[in-house]
Amino acid sequence: MTHSTGRTVAANLGISLDGRYHGAGGPGDFGAFLPYVATDTARDHMARMCADATTAVLGRVNAEGFLGYWPSVADDEAADPRDREYARWLVDTEKVVLSRTLTTAPWARTRLVDAPTPDVVVELRGSGEGDILVNSSASVIKPLLAADLLDRLYLLVVPVVVGSGPRLFDDGLPGSTWTLSSRVVGAQGEVAAVYDRAR
Q: How far lies 36's CA from each of 15, 32, 61, 75, 158, in Å?
A: 11, 9, 21, 24, 7
pTM: 0.93
**What number is the average pLDDT over the span 129-149?**
96
Closest CA to 157 of 148, 167, 149: 167
pLDDT (0 to 100) of residue 5? 59
Task: Tell me which residue of 73, 68, 110 sits closest to 88, measured CA to CA.
Answer: 73
Residue 56: which CATH number? 3.40.430.10
Over residues 81-89, mean pLDDT: 95
**Structural domains counted in the chain:** 1
Question: Which helix (H) or strand (E) is 9 found in, with range?
Answer: strand 9-16
The CA-based dihedral angle spanning residues 41, 190, 58, 9, taken in that order and rounded to the nearest 10 degrees: 80
Chain centre distance of CA 190? 17
In this structure, what DSSP letter does residue 109 have? T
Running DSSP on this structure, what letter comes out for residue 17? T
The amino acid present at 105, given as its one-letter code, is A
How far apart CA 84 and CA 51 sit, in angstroms, is 13
Burial class of residue 57 in the structure, from the number of CB atoms within 10 Å of its CB (0-12 exposed, 13-18 middle, 19+ buried): buried
Instruction: Report how far residue 52's alpha carbon sits from residue 81's, in angstroms, rounded to the nearest whole number.
Output: 18
In a 3-state reduction of DSSP, which class is residue 62? helix
User: Does residue 2 have a pLDDT over 50?
Assistant: no
Is residue 4, in this structure, part of any structural domain at all? Answer: no
Radius of gyration of the chain (CA): 16
Instruction: Please give the Cα distance from 179 to 181 (Å, whole number).
Output: 6
Instruction: Return all residues near 68 (Cβ < 8 A) that are at least 6 apart.
Output: none
pLDDT at position 174:
95
- pLDDT one-digit tens code per residue, 86-138: 999 999 999 999 999 998 887 889 999 999 999 999 999 998 899 999 999 99
Does residue 116 lie in a domain region? yes
For residue 101, being part of any structural domain is answered with yes
Cα–Cα distance, 57 to 110 (Å, whole number): 10
> Would you say residue 110 lies in a domain?
yes
**pLDDT exceeds cutoff 70 at 1:** no
Q: Within a domain: residue 69? A: yes
Handedness of CA 132, 135, 140, 146 (dihedral sign): positive
Tell me the pLDDT tens digit for each residue of 21-72. 999 898 888 899 999 999 999 999 999 999 999 999 999 988 988 888 899 9
pLDDT bin (cut points 50, 70, 90) of residue 166 is very high
**Does 1 reside within a domain?**
no
Residue 2 lies in a domain: no
What pLDDT shows up at residue 6? Answer: 79
- Residue 164 covered by a domain: yes
Rounded mean pLDDT of 1-15? 79
Q: What is the residue range of 177's domain?
A: 9-198
pLDDT for position 90: 94
